[in-house]
Structure 1
Amino acid sequence: MSYDVAAVRSHYPALASGEAFFDGPGGTQVPQAVVDAVSRTLAGPLSNRSPLSAPQRAAGEAVDACRAALGDLLAADPGGIVFGRSMTALTYDLSRTLAQGWGPGDEVVVSRLDHDANVRPWVQAAERAGATVGWIEFDRSTTELGVDHLEAVLGERTRLVALTAASNILGTRPDVPALAARVHAAGALLFVDGVHHASHCAVDVGALGADFYACSPYKFGGPHCGVLAAAPSLLEQLHPDKLAPSTDDVPERFELGTLPYELMAGTTAAVDFLASLDPTGASSRRDRLVAAYAAIEAHEDVLRARIEAALHDRADITVWSRAAERTSTLFFTIEGHRPEAVHAALGERGISVSSGDCYAWEPCRALGLGAEGAVRVGLAPYNDDDDVDRLLEALPGPIG
C-alpha cells in the first residue's frame, strides 16, 4: 500500500485555507482528531485527578493514556514520561536540578549544532554551579558532527553532554548511538534534543543511548507542550524543587502544578493519528508508528529531492543543509535577497516558510550567517507535489 498524501491532507482543517505550509520545523498543522480530543476533554466532565469521582477519574485517564501513547512513540517506559509546558521549560527545570550536584572542576559539554534550548539552559546552570563548559564543534563544510568532534572535548570530569538528534535548521542527524557510547564510557549523562528528530524519524530512546530525550508534540501534529523521557530509575535519583503537598512520585515530582489534561488528550490523539498512517496494517501501536514514520520519511524525501535539485540548479542559491544523514529540511540563502524578504514574498503568495536563525543561535553564527540566518523550508506529512510546485515557482529570481 503506497502513501496516500491526498487522504492524509483531508484530515487537516488548516489546509482548507489554501496555504502551502513549509514551516513544519517551527510547528506543524493539526489534524481534526487532535482538535476533537482537546475540545472533548475540555467539554468534560473534568476535574483535578483523583479516584473519588467520575470527572476526577477522567483526568487521570487522560494522563495515563498520554503517557502510554508517548511510551509507544518513543519506545520508552511510560513511567518515565514527564509532561511540561515546552521542551525549553523542561530543559531549564532539569538543568537546575542536575546542577545541584555540579561544582568547580566539573564540566558540561554542549554543541555548536544545537538549538539554543539545548545550549543556554546547560551553560547557565553550569556557570551558576561553578562548572566549566566545553563546546563540540561541527564541520562547517559538511555540517556533520561526529565522534571525533565529541572526543576533542570529552573528559573525565564531564558530567553531562547535550546534543541534538537532528538540527532544526540544517536537518543534520548525528550518529547518536555512537556518540552516546563515548559519553557513557566517560561516565557522563547524555541529554538529547529530539524536537526536530521526533517529527521525522521513528524514535527508540534506548537504542539511541539517550539518558534524557526531549521533544515537542506540536512539531508532530499535537498541541503546544513539551515531553521529557527518561528511565524511572534515573528520575528517582533526582529531586527537583516542588511544592510541599505535591507528590514525590516519579514522574509527577517533575510536573509542576495541575497538568493540562486537554493537551495530554490532544497529544494522545496526535500519536494515534500518526499510527493510523501505517500502510502495513501492523498489530501494535508501536509497530504501526514505526511503519508510519518509514512511509512519511520516504514521502518527504521524494519532495525534498525535488526542492533540493531546483535549488542546486541556481548559482545564486547557497544550500547550507549538507549532511549525508538529515531530515527533510533545507536552509538556504539567495544572493541579493535578505532571508526575511524572501520569507515575506512567499507569505504574500500563500506559502509559509521560516527565516532568521530559528533559535539555532550557535550554528548560524558558526556558519557566518548571524542573526539574519537563512530561509528554512521544512516538509511535513501533509505536503504534496502541488505545494512544491508553488514554492519553486514563487522563489525570487536572480538579481541582475
Structure 2
Amino acid sequence: MQPFDPTWVRSRFPALSQEIDGNIPVFFDGPGGSQVPGSVLDAMSRYLITSNANAHGAFATSHRTDECIASARTAVADLLGCGPDEVVFGANMTTLTFAFSRAIGRELRPGDEIVVTRLDHYANVSPWQALEEEVGAVVRVVDFHTEDCTLDMEDLKRQINAKTRVVAIGYASNTVGTVNDVAAVVRLAHAVGAWVFVDAVHYSAHGPIDVRALDCDFLTCSAYKFYGPHVGILYGKRQHLAQLRPYKLLPAPEEIPSRWETGTLNYESLAGLVATIDYLAELGRCVSLSERANRREALLTALEASRQYERELCEQLISGLSKISGLTLYGITDPARFAWRTPTVAIRLAGKTPYAIAKELGDRGIFTWHGNFYALGIAEKLNVEAGGGFLRIGLLAYNTREEIERLLQALQEIAASE
C-alpha cells in the first residue's frame, strides 16, 4: 500500500484547475454535486459520437447502446456488491424512490406502519408520508439527538413494532454528516418482517458499500455525488424486484430489472457512470499497488483510502472551525467518533445569514452551500429554518489541506467584519 495521493487525484479532474474571476476555485460544494474526472467527459462524448441510438435495435449503434447498459449494470454491481440484475437506473434518486414507494404502497393495508427519520433528506421521507393519505398507512418519525445530531436509536427501537412494514433510513446525513448504523437498523427491521429502504446518496462518495453485508432490501444513490454524471441508481433484492408490480405505464418489459425503468434511459450518462467507476478502480489499484486486483477489490480499496484521507481533512477543518468566535458547529465534533460522520459540516455564524456567508466565500472563489438541503426535519428541530438554515462545507477526496486553510482564513475575516 502507498499513501493516498491528492495530487494524483486532482490531476484527473479538469474543473479543479480552471480560473473563475481571477481565482482557482475551491469546491466545497460536493454534497450538492461533485466534479468529474476527464475520463468521464471522454466516455460520454465517445458514446454520443460512436453509439448514439436507442436500445434493442437491429443495427450497430443500437447494439453498442445495449452493451453500454449491460456494462453500467455490471459496474454498479461491482460498486455495491450485488448482481447486475439487481441494479435499476432512473433520472435521480428522488424519482426512483417515489416510483418504488408507490409500488410498495400497493402491498400495504390501512394501519400498516412505515418508519422514517427526522435526520433524513426528504426524498426518503415525503414519498412515504404520502402513503398515509393514499393507502391509510401510519408513518412514524424517529427523532435525533440535538447535541451531536445522531439518530436516537432508542426511539427507533420504540417505533419499530409488529405493524412495521418499511423502515426508510439514510446511510449518512447530507446536512450534518452523521453516518447511521444501517446494519443495526436492518437487523431491527427484519426481526419484525419489515423491509429497509436505504438512501445512500450522501454516503456513497465517502466509503465502501456492501449491500449483501448490510442485508438491506433496497438502496439508492446518485452518480453525480461520487464523481459521475446525473443518473439515479437503485439496488433491490432480486426477489423484491420480481415480486413487486412496477408503478409505470404499459407496455412494460417482463425482464428484471428493466421492467422498473421508465422511458428512455440517459445512455450517455450510463457511459459516463462506467468511466466513473473505472476511475475509482484505477485509484484503488494505485493505492494498493496491485494491477491484478479485480474491480470490486479495487473499488473497496479506493473508497476506504478516500475515507481515511477525508477523515484527516475533517479533523483539520473542525479543529479550525472550533477556534472561530461566534461560530456554531452542528454534529459530531469528537475526532474519536469521526468514523460515524462524513466530512460534511454544517455551521452558523453569529450576526451573519448562511446566504451572506456563502456569498462572501463565493466572491473569494470558495464554493459552499446554504439552506436546509431538503433535510427540513433537521433545520426545524435545530430552530434554524427561519434564519436561513445552515452554511454547509462538504469535503471530497480531491480537496486539500491548503484549501481548508484558505477557507478558515476567509471565515475568520468574515466573522471579524461588521
Q: TM-score range by the shorter chain?
A: over 0.9
Mapped contact 2:100–2:247 kept (Cα < 8 A): no
Deviations 1:77-122 (A, max 9, x none): 1101000000000000001111112221111111000001110011
Name the CA distance, whole Å, in 2 between partners of 1:187 and 1:399: 56
Residue equivalent to 1:304: 314
2:404 aligns with one of 385, 388, 400: 388
Name the CA distance, whole Å, in 2 between partners of 1:103 and 1:366: 31
What aligned pairs does 1:340-379 form with structure 2 within 5 A after superposition? 340-370=355-385, 372-379=388-395
1:289 aligns with one of 293, 299, 311: 299
Mapped contact 1:76–1:230 kept (Cα < 8 A): no
Range moving further from structure 2, 82-91 or 376-385: 376-385
Using the TM superposition, give the Cα deviation of residue 309 of structure 1 relative to its aligned residue in structure 2, in angstroms: 0.5
Name the CA distance, whole Å, in 2 between partners of 1:328 and 1:47: 40
Residue type matched to 1:397 in 2?
A
Structure 2 gap segments, 5+ residues each: 19-23
Name the CA distance, whole Å, in 2 between partners of 1:346 and 1:126: 42
Q: Is 1:397 the counterpart of 2:412 in the alignment? A: no
Name the CA distance, whole Å, in 2 between partners of 1:34 and 1:191: 29
What aligned pairs does 1:139-288 form with structure 2 within 5 A after superposition? 139-278=145-284, 279-282=287-290, 283-288=293-298
Q: Is 1:6 the counterpart of 2:22 in the alignment? A: no
Deviations 1:197-220 (A, max 9, x none): 111010011212211000000001
Name the CA distance, whole Å, in 2 between partners of 1:382 and 1:221: 10
Mapped contact 2:222–2:231 kept (Cα < 8 A): yes
CA RMSD of aligned residues (A): 1.3
Using the TM superposition, give the Cα deviation of residue 394 of structure 1 relative to its aligned residue in structure 2, in angstroms: 1.0
2:98 aligns with one of 76, 82, 92: 92
Using the TM superposition, give the Cα deviation of residue 232 of structure 1 relative to its aligned residue in structure 2, in angstroms: 1.6
Using the TM superposition, give the Cα deviation of residue 51 of structure 1 relative to its aligned residue in structure 2, in angstroms: 6.3
Residue type matched to 1:385 in 2?
R
Deviations 1:115-152 (A, max 9, x none): 01110011012321111110111111121115312112
Name the CA distance, whole Å, in 2 between partners of 1:241 and 1:326: 35
Instruction: Detail structure 1 runs of 4+ shifted over 6 Å in the superposition.
Output: none
Residue type matched to 2:308 in 1?
A
Residue equivalent to 1:30: 36
Mapped contact 1:316–1:398 kept (Cα < 8 A): no
Range moving further from structure 2, 212-221 or 228-237: 228-237
The alignment-based identity, stated in percent, is 40
Name the CA distance, whole Å, in 1 between partners of 2:46 and 2:225: 22
Name the CA distance, whole Å, in 1 between partners of 2:42 and 2:298: 22
Deviations 1:283-327 (A, max 9, x none): 111111111111111111111111100111124111102273100
Mapped contact 2:30–2:396 kept (Cα < 8 A): yes
Range moving further from structure 2, 241-250 or 313-322: 241-250
Using the TM superposition, give the Cα deviation of residue 398 of structure 1 relative to its aligned residue in structure 2, in angstroms: 3.8
Range moving further from structure 2, 42-51 or 309-318: 42-51
Residue equivalent to 1:321: 331
Mapped contact 1:107–1:160 kept (Cα < 8 A): yes
Name the CA distance, whole Å, in 2 between partners of 1:211 and 1:147: 20
Residue type matched to 2:395 in 1?
L
Using the TM superposition, give the Cα deviation of residue 399 of structure 1 relative to its aligned residue in structure 2, in angstroms: 6.0
Residue type matched to 1:116 in 2?
Y
Residue 288 of structure 2: SS of its match in structure 1?
A: coil
Mapped contact 2:324–2:415 kept (Cα < 8 A): no
Residue type matched to 1:10 in 2?
S
Residue type matched to 1:292 in 2?
A
TM-score normalised to the size of structure 1?
Answer: 0.97
Residue type matched to 1:204 in 2?
D
Mapped contact 1:146–1:179 kept (Cα < 8 A): no
Name the CA distance, whole Å, in 2 between partners of 1:183 and 1:244: 33
Residue type matched to 2:345 in 1?
L
Residue type matched to 2:175 in 1?
I
Mapped contact 2:14–2:38 kept (Cα < 8 A): yes
Structure 1 gap segments, 5+ residues each: none
TM-score normalised to the size of structure 2?
Answer: 0.93
